[in-house]
């Protein structure tokens, strides 16, 4: 139990003192719950006196003791509840913010290596359990034991023999609780893993629904979810069944101890060892001794599951952070250079000894076959990953010296696979610049050729795009992403197939807009279309993780290498016609 409380206090962070104060007030509450026993003893002794000897003080004394108990319970209970819930919600809020900071600074590879289901389960289901159950359950456990120990000590002072039986029952319950704890430590991780697996399976099924339907694999995919549900059910059932006998044994200890108190008290009275009033007081106490600590057994399984939930945040603690000691740096120059850069995904080499310079105010295009490392190279430049060897420099400064915010404020990125956040069109465009006005957002939308289709939506700029932008087409999502880049107006632009999802008519308009967006800025673009590439100031040709050619369009055409072949294939594809 003390180990669980310790884990909760560690988890609570800066709210540790509030949580401790809640536990202290909980102990006061337990104390005031014991006070009525004094009233019972006082009343019993008065009832056994001759009527002529009963004084008003006996009646008013009992009433006063009960009033003190009620007032103390109300005051201590309210204070304990306020502190408990304040600490619970605030520490979980802090954990969510802390998780956001960690995930923001983790490399993209971390999300590839760790299933999203595990992270989603940790930040939703698990954290929800901690928020709503952890503090009340653990407080009930601690309060139950404190209540019983205090009551046992009062009984021991009143009668040492009966008090010894009472304390012996509490000690035996601690032994049984320890057995339950060890069993829970073995089973709770399996239950937690099953829950994470279920979240992962559901996310994968929903996200891959289009593929499932397209290939008619609904039955097979359903089997994966069915298995995850069955595994979760099995792990929970095993957990509950394992604790049924243990909980019964735990509660049996208190029943036997209560019966022992009752039998011994009566026996001692009949042997003239104690008075009738004392016997009656002990019999009354026997029904109250273990009422709170018995509840501990019913919540012990939940408490152990919560203890394991507290440990699940180690998945975030293990996240590699790229921005630990970064500084806020303002750049005067915006050229980008890579010196002897190599990078690998685990054991797979993706970039090998890259030495390039992206000049300030110029357009650099990156071309090459699929899997050659183009997107990875851009991600390395933007510091979505850190290099394994070599260095990436912005304006002559190593990117590892920047804080994430100070580096990325210089960059606008248009991804090939656009993600829009749940919210309105205005919210998603406004994401490019904090505090932007509606006029600024509409101006950016006009430049990105998306104003007309936005105003045609049911609620115009206030139309909700749905999760991931599911209510919009691929081309519409991409144009909103380009509008976001216009709004940010950063000095460095990364374009990853920025016109890939656009029809020819919109592509021409967007290409003109992009010319305005990239004017006098440092631009890095990944493109396959010849019209996009040929006007670049510098073209980098990649193959198998290496830059094998670089130069202008005219220079590369004279070299008769991979780029020459690429252009010829594109020209053939663009000039084909149907023969009637």
- What is the rounded distance in angstroms from the CA atom of residue 71 to the CA atom of residue 294? 25
Residues 6 or more apart in contact with residue 407 via CB below 8 angstroms: 326, 329, 382, 383, 394, 399
Residue-wise pLDDT for 11-54, tens only, equals 777 888 888 888 888 888 878 877 777 777 777 777 766 666 66
Q: What is the pTM of this model?
A: 0.63
248 exposure class (CB count in 10 Å sphere: 0-12, 13-18, 19+)? exposed
pLDDT of residue 125: 72
Q: Among residues 295, 293, 296, 7, which one has the least CA distance to residue 130?
A: 7
Of 523, 513, 442, 512, which is closest to residue 490 (Cα–Cα)?
Answer: 523
**How far, in Å, CA of 335 to CA of 521, rounded?**
10
pLDDT at 404 over 70: yes
Looking up tokens 């056994």 gives 48
- pLDDT at residue 221 tops 80: no
Residue 551 pLDDT > 50: yes
Whether the CB-CB separation of 510 and 449 falls below 8 Å is answered with yes
What are the sequence ranges of the domains in the chain? Answer: 2-317
Q: Report which of residues 117 and 402 the model is more confident about.
A: 402
Q: Please tell me the least confidently modeled range out of 21-25, 81-85, 106-110, 423-427.
A: 106-110
Q: What is the pLDDT of residues 317-372, one digit of tens each?
A: 666 777 667 788 888 888 899 999 998 877 788 888 889 999 988 889 898 888 88
Three-state secondary structure of 430-493: HCCCCCCCHHHHHHHHHHCCCHHHHHCCCCHHHCECCCECCCCCHHHHHHHHHHHHHHHCCCEE
Collapsing DSSP states into helix, strand and coil, what is residue 512?
Answer: helix
Give the pLDDT confidence score for residue 580 in this predicted structure. 44
| Rounded alpha-carbon distances, angstroms, from residue 348 to 105, 121, 233, 280 | 23, 29, 38, 79
Per cent of the chain over pLDDT 90 is: 2
| Top-tier CATH class for 2-317 | mainly alpha
Q: Which helix (H) or strand (E) holds 330?
A: none
pLDDT digits (tens, 9 = 90+) for 103-152: 777 776 666 555 566 677 677 777 777 777 777 777 777 667 777 777 77
- pLDDT at residue number 2: 61
């Amino acid at each position: 139990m003390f180990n669980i409380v310790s884990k909760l206090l560690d988890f609570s962070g800066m709210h540790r003192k509030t949580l401790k104060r809640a536990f202290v007030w909980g102990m006061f509450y337990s104390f005031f719950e014991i006070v009525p026993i004094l009233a019972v003893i006082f009343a019993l002794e008065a009832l056994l006196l001759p009527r002529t000897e009963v004084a008003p003080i006996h009646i008013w004394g009992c009433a006063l003791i009960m009033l003190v108990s009620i007032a103390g319970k109300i005051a201590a209970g309210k204070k304990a509840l306020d502190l408990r819930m304040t600490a619970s919600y605030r520490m979980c809020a802090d954990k969510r913010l802390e998780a956001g900071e960690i995930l923001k600074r983790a490399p993209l590879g971390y999300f590839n290596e760790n299933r999203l289901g595990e992270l989603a389960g940790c930040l939703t289901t698990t954290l929800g359990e901690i928020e709503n159950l952890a503090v009340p359950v653990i407080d009930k456990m601690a309060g139950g034991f404190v209540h019983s120990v205090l009551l046992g000590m009062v009984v021991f002072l009143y009668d040492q023999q009966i008090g010894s039986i009472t304390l012996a029952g509490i000690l035996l319950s601690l032994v049984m609780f320890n057995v339950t704890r060890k069993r829970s430590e073995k089973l709770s991780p399996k239950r937690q893993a099953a829950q994470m697996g279920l979240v992962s399976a559901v996310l994968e099924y929903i996200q891959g629904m289009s593929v499932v339907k397209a290939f008619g694999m609904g039955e097979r995919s359903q089997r994966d979810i069915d298995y995850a549900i069955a595994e979760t059910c099995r792990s929970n059932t095993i957990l509950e069944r394992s604790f049924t006998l243990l909980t019964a044994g735990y509660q049996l200890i208190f029943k036997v101890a209560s019966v022992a108190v009752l039998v011994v008290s009566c026996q001692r009275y009949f042997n003239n060892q104690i008075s009738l009033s004392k016997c009656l007081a002990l019999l009354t106490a026997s029904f109250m001794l273990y009422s709170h600590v018995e509840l501990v057994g019913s919540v012990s399984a939940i408490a152990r599951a919560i203890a394991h939930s507290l440990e699940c945040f180690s998945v975030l603690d293990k996240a590699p952070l790229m921005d630990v000691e970064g500084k806020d740096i303002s750049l005067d120059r915006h050229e980008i250079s890579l010196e002897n850069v190599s990078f690998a995904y685990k054991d797979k080499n993706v970039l090998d000894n890259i030495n390039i310079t992206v000049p300030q105010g110029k357009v650099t295009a990156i071309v090459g076959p699929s899997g050659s490392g183009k997107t990875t190279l851009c991600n390395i430049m933007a510091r979505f990953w850190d290099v394994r060897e070599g260095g990436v420099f912005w304006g002559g400064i190593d990117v590892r010296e920047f804080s994430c915010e100070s580096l990325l404020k210089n960059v606008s990125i248009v991804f090939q696979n656009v993600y829009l956040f749940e919210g309105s069109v205005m919210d998603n465009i406004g994401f490019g610049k904090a505090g932007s006005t509606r006029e600024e957002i509409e101006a950016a939308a006009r430049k990105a050729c998306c104003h007309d289709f936005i105003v045609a939506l049911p609620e115009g700029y206030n139309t909700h795009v749905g999760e991931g932008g599911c209510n919009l087409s691929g081309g519409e999502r991409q144009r909103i992403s380009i509008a976001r880049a216009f709004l940010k107006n950063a000095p460095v632009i990364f374009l990853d197939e920025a016109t890939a999802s656009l029809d020819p008519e919109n592509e021409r308009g967007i290409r003109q807009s992009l010319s305005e967006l990239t004017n006098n800025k440092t631009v890095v673009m990944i493109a396959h279309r010849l019209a996009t590439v040929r006007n670049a100031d510098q073209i980098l040709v990649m193959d198998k993780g290496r830059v094998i050619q670089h130069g202008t369009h005219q220079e590369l055409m004279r070299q008769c290498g991979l780029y020459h072949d690429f252009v010829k294939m594109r020209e053939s594809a663009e000039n084909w016609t149907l023969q009637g």
